[in-house]
Amino acid sequence: MIELSGQMEAQYILRHHQHDPKDNQCSSSLVKHIKAPVGIVWSLVRRFDEPQKYKPFVSRCTVQGDLKIGSLRHVNVKSGLPATTSTEMLSLFDDKEHILGIRIIGGDHRLKNYSSILTVHPETIDGEEGTMVIESFVVDVPEGNTKEDTCYFVKAFINYNLASLCAVSERMAGRDRAGLGNV
Ligand code: A8S
């Protein structure tokens, strides 16, 4: 099973997560396996207007107008981080294939030309409906930093986000099962 999951992962990354980093950029992808159906996980991820539903560092988010490709969200992050705001654009949205892409276009942080893609795929985990989430990014390496440091910094935030997405989704899935009297 682990091998099969690894093959699927490699295929999904080839198909959806190609970023073409330039010399001054770093890029990577992270994978999370969640014990909740794809519908639950995607219902959280697809809300470009409400990242605080699962992202633990977001304190506030506002979007003006309808949600569509090119929509902007203004995000405030919690205190104690090396940033307070971020302006982010919805760059990819496929509600059927479960693909969400964002670009960070402003804010008081050091992530320049940041672009990320998150895809959500069904998989079987321990004989139950589960989800494989893949998130990849590319970003400029700031002056005075190394590629390694920059990747480490970004991956830490993404790992927190994915761990929280996992916790929230699995809680919701538990509730669903409880609701069906199937615990
Ligand atoms: C995301 C991914 C990242 C968000 C980072 C990497 C950020 O929201 C935080 C700290 C920063 O220094 C940059 O998908 C920024 O959320 C938590 C404000 C963009």
Q: 182 lies in a domain? A: no
Q: Which run of H or of E encompasses 162?
A: helix 147-179
Q: 144 lies in a domain? A: yes
Ligand 1 centroid to Cα of residue 163, in Å, is: 15
Query: How do 72-77 and 58-63 pair as beta strands?
Result: antiparallel
Minimal-distance CA residue to ligand 1 atom 11? 83
Ligand 1 centroid to Cα of residue 157, in Å, is: 6
Question: By residue range, what is the domain housing residue 14?
Answer: 2-177
Ligand 1 centroid to Cα of residue 46, in Å, is: 17
Q: What CATH number does residue 140 fall under?
A: 3.30.530.20
Q: 183 lies in a domain? A: no
Number of domains within the chain = 1
pTM for this prediction: 0.93
Q: 62 lies in a domain? A: yes
User: One digit per residue, pLDDT tens: the chain, 183 residues?
Assistant: 557 788 999 999 999 999 999 999 999 999 999 999 999 999 999 999 999 999 999 999 999 888 999 999 999 999 999 999 999 999 999 999 999 999 999 999 999 999 999 999 999 999 999 999 999 999 999 999 999 999 999 999 999 999 999 999 999 999 555 545 444
Q: Which two tokens stand for residue 103?
A: 């670009």
